Amino acid sequence: MAKNNFDPRHQKRRQIVQELFAHSFAKQETLEDKTREVIKNEAEIDPQVEMAAPQWPIEKINKIDLAILRLAIFEIIEKKEPIKVIIDEAVELAKEFGSESSPSFINGVLGAIVNKETYNQSE
């Protein structure tokens, strides 16, 4: 089944990623509730990015990739959607907004986080 970019959930994720991206440059006045939640949880989210991509300090990661990762990790923590859906959506957003290497980078980081979480849950 082809991805539908008009899917309301995909549209909402696009908007949140755009807001997170803009917020990384300057504080934004009006934000979606979920965008605010992601920002509020950066202290929990960012160490997971650093753990999964130790060769990429947060400040060196492309800002759009970081926005996509933050949203996806927040959604993984929330556990409201299947992990596969979250990762697929993040990769789609990376294809849409990121560089040529963004989809594989996003997929690799999220895969490492999910594998670590799965490992931690089975202990």
User: Using one digit for the tens of pLDDT, what is the confidence trace for 58-104?
Assistant: 999 999 999 999 999 999 999 999 999 999 999 999 999 999 999 99
Cα 94 to Cα 102: distance, rounded to the nearest angstrom:
5
Banded model confidence at residue 1, pLDDT cuts 50, 70, 90: very low
| Per-residue confidence (pLDDT) for residue 105, from 0 to 100 | 97
Cα 35 to Cα 51: distance, rounded to the nearest angstrom:
23
3-state secondary structure the chain: CCCCCCCHHHHHHHHHHHHHHHHCCCCCCCCCHHHHHHHHCHHHHHHHHHHHCCCCCHHHCCHHHHHHHHHHHHHHHHCCCCHHHHHHHHHHHHHHHCCCCHHHHHHHHHHHHHHHHHHHHCC
The structure's pTM equals 0.90
* All domains in the chain, ordered by first residue: 8-117 (1.10.940.10)
